[in-house]
Amino acid sequence: MSPAGAGAAPDWVVLLLSPWVLALLGLCIGSFLNVVVHRLPTIYMRGWWAFDVADFALGDKRSWRSAFGSAAEPPAELAAAAGAIHRQLEASPPLSLMRPRSRCPHCGHQLRAVENIPVASWLALRGRCSACRARIGLRYPLVEAGTALLFAASAAVHGASWQTVVTCTAIALLVAMALIDLDYTLLPDSLTIPLVVLGLVAAAAGVSVVPWKDAAIGALAGYGALWALGVLWAVLFRKANAMAEGDMKMLAGLGALLGWQALPGILLVAAGIGSVVGIAMIVFRGHKRETPIPFGPYLALAGAAALLLRGRFVEFAEGMLPLLGG
């Protein structure tokens, strides 16, 4: 396996990075991504309650006194609530991305290996739990099949190269981020920061589609662009920053992977899709205008497309920017 422009990859590498093999890998990765989407927010929220609420209220008298006076003491009710939170966390069963084994969320039935085959098990079970017959969401096989298709497309576009490995890794991160943001309006640092690191390391190692300089500028520009838009929104409309920091980090990662040249196209496509979906939700589903709509899924969709069609996104941006500028 070698960067673009180097000699041909060995036959075994060509086989491993072929569309069919990567499609099978994508099915397995997609199955794992379903677990990540289901469990990571719970793990994250438990950590938030443990660190930012329970531990803070139980022990940080210094910050309380700084805020309310040197002689002030935290109220007993706060300590009691913090203690209750701490006990609830202690009583919660251990949870990680690997343990416990997958189970039905309705009845707790532990899935056997034969019930955990990507897509095939869902079809064989006709979308229902084998124990309680509760429905299993269609999203599970769609995530598995979608990840498989994106992995296969990566192999078809980039061939047997490190760029395929980088693209598949980035796509897996984007899929997880999109679904978590859709469900919880949350983009965990444990997903956004690795996307930035992946882009910068790939560029530094010479296995990226862009040189190191463009990747570094892209990371800074991606973060800065959404930060500036959020500040502008807050100033013009006298509201809170419309852009969450997770969105900024995600776009920074896409900038690191694809260079600053692709960012305008990604933003235009993501904003266009988001606007259409937002209007449709308001018109057809009664979504309240003041309720925020997560931007991460649209960034992820545009970013995944740009990973496969970077040249088209750069051309699109070059064609659109003069029109937007008048």
Residue 186 and residue 40: Cα distance in Å, rounded?
10
Res 48: pLDDT: 85
Contact between 104 and 134 (Cβ < 8 Å): yes
Of 324, 311, 188, 316, which Cα lies nearest the Cα of 253?
188
Res 5: pLDDT: 46
DSSP letter for each residue of 167-200 = HHHHHHHHHHHHHHHHHHS---HHHHHHHHHHHH
pTM over 0.75: yes
With 0-12 / 13-18 / 19 or more C-beta atoms within 10 angstroms meaning exposed / middle / buried, residue 174 is: buried
Res 55: pLDDT: 60
Cross-strand partners of 103:
110
How far, in whole angstroms, is CA 258 from its chain's centroid? 17
Residue 90 and residue 94: Cα distance in Å, rounded?
9
With 0-12 / 13-18 / 19 or more C-beta atoms within 10 angstroms meaning exposed / middle / buried, residue 320 is: middle
What angle (nearest 5°) sits at the alpha carbon of residue 178, between those of residues 173 and 179? 105
Coil vs helix vs strand at 281: helix
DSSP summary character for residue 138: T
Contact between 225 and 250 (Cβ < 8 Å): no
Residue 160 and residue 12: Cα distance in Å, rounded?
10
Over the chain (326 residues), the average pLDDT of each successive run of 10 is 62 91 97 96 89 65 76 76 84 90 86 92 92 92 98 96 96 98 94 98 95 96 91 74 84 97 93 86 70 88 95 76 56
Residue 31 and residue 141: Cα distance in Å, rounded?
8
Res 321: pLDDT: 60
Of 307, 95, 292, 288, which Cα lies nearest the Cα of 181?
292
Residue 255 and residue 245: Cα distance in Å, rounded?
15
How far, in whole angstroms, is CA 98 from its chain's centroid? 19
Residue 293 and residue 277: Cα distance in Å, rounded?
9
Res 293: pLDDT: 80
